């Protein structure tokens, strides 16, 4: 499994754009990059997935540089309800994914 | 669809007792995953099934843990005997298919406390 490295936690003010980075230096050719979000007392939920360049959906954008050794999840204009743990996962076909501890994002009023 | 259903939502038991956690995946999903979440270790994959067959159980911590999936709509995770260090939130997740594009859908979790 490709290992990922994320900051443990970060704070952001309401209304700002939040960029969460993830390092995955040993990503394999067939690996996809997937992000999940977990609110307190809930199970994680899928946010976005990408292979290269940029992917955007109604929730977030995912930026992946050409070497694919890192990725950045961008949350536009966060609100208090975006306070959650964000997991960056790397794997082939969404099989055995290592969630780890994720990145605790706290949105401050 | 009601989503992934787990029961019980909370379980408090004493050390040495048998604990059985239950999961009903989303109808039509052919993969099922069991995870454990603790503050120390984060969210760990214990085992996953494809078409009711266990594919990878390398995350199961020890022989006290066992998981079964007798049919496509039901799975159990059993701990016997339970120990205080098993206290955690256990999540079940299911997925419709394999490969990119198939996300995992998680249940609400079972919070287990072993005294």
Q: Is A8 on the interface with B (CB under 8 A)?
A: no
Contact B7, B22 (CB under 8 A): yes
Q: Is A29 on the interface with B (CB under 8 A)?
A: no
User: CB A102 to CB B43 under 8 A?
Assistant: yes
Q: Is A59 exposed, middle or buried (0-12, 13-18, 19+ CB in 10 A)?
A: middle
Summarize pLDDT for A12-48 with one digit per residue, the tens.
Answer: 999 999 999 999 998 988 889 999 999 999 999 999 9
Summarize pLDDT for B85-96 with one digit per residue, the tens.
Answer: 999 999 999 999
C-alpha A100/C-alpha B40 separation (Å) is 10
* Chain B residues within 8 A of A102 when measuring between CB atoms: 42-43
User: CB B106 to CB A98 under 8 A?
Assistant: no
C-alpha B24/C-alpha B106 separation (Å) is 11
Of the candidates A70, A81, A67, A94, the residue with the CA atom closest to the CA atom of residue A12: A81
C-alpha B68/C-alpha B49 separation (Å) is 9
User: CB A99 to CB B56 under 8 A?
Assistant: no
Q: Is A96 on the interface with B (CB under 8 A)?
A: yes
Summarize pLDDT for A52-84 with one digit per residue, the tens.
Answer: 999 999 999 999 999 999 999 999 999 999 999
Percent of chain A with pLDDT over 70: 94
Over 80: is that where the pLDDT of B60 sits? yes
Summarize pLDDT for B17-56 with one digit per residue, the tens.
Answer: 999 999 999 999 999 999 999 999 999 999 999 999 999 8
* Chain A residues within 8 A of B108 when measuring between CB atoms: 41-43
Specify the DSSP class assigned to residue A80: G
> Three-state SS string across B29-92, please?
CCEEEEEEEECCCEEEEEEEEECCEEEECCCCCCCCEEEEEEECCEEEEEECCCCHHHCEEEEE
Kindly report the nearest CA distance between residue B37 and chain A, in angstroms: 9
* Chain A residues within 8 A of B105 when measuring between CB atoms: 45-46
C-alpha B80/C-alpha B21 separation (Å) is 12
């Amino acid at each position: 499994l490709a290992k990922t490295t994320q900051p443990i936690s970060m704070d952001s003010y309401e209304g700002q754009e939040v960029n969460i980075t993830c390092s995955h230096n040993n990503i394999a050719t067939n690996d996809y990059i997937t992000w999940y979000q977990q609110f307190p007392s809930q199970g994680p939920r899928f946010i976005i997935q990408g292979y290269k360049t940029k992917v955007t959906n109604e929730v977030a954008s995912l930026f992946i540089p050409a070497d694919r050794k890192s990725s950045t999840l961008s949350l536009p204009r966060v609100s208090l309800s975006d306070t959650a743990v964000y997991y960056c996962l790397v794997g082939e076909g969404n099989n055995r994914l290592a969630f780890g501890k994720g990145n605790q994002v706290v949105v401050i009023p | 669809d009601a989503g992934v259903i787990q029961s019980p939502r909370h379980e408090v038991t004493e050390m040495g007792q048998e604990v059985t956690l239950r999961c009903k995946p989303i109808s039509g999903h052919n993969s099922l995953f069991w995870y454990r979440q603790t503050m120390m270790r984060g969210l760990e994959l214990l085992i996953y099934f494809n078409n009711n067959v266990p594919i990878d159980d390398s995350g199961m911590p020890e022989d006290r843990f066992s998981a079964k999936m007798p049919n496509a709509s039901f799975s159990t995770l059993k701990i016997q005997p339970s120990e205080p260090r098993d206290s955690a939130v256990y999540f079940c997740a299911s997925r419709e298919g394999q490969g990119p594009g198939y996300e995992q859908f998680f249940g609400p979790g079972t919070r287990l406390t072993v005294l």
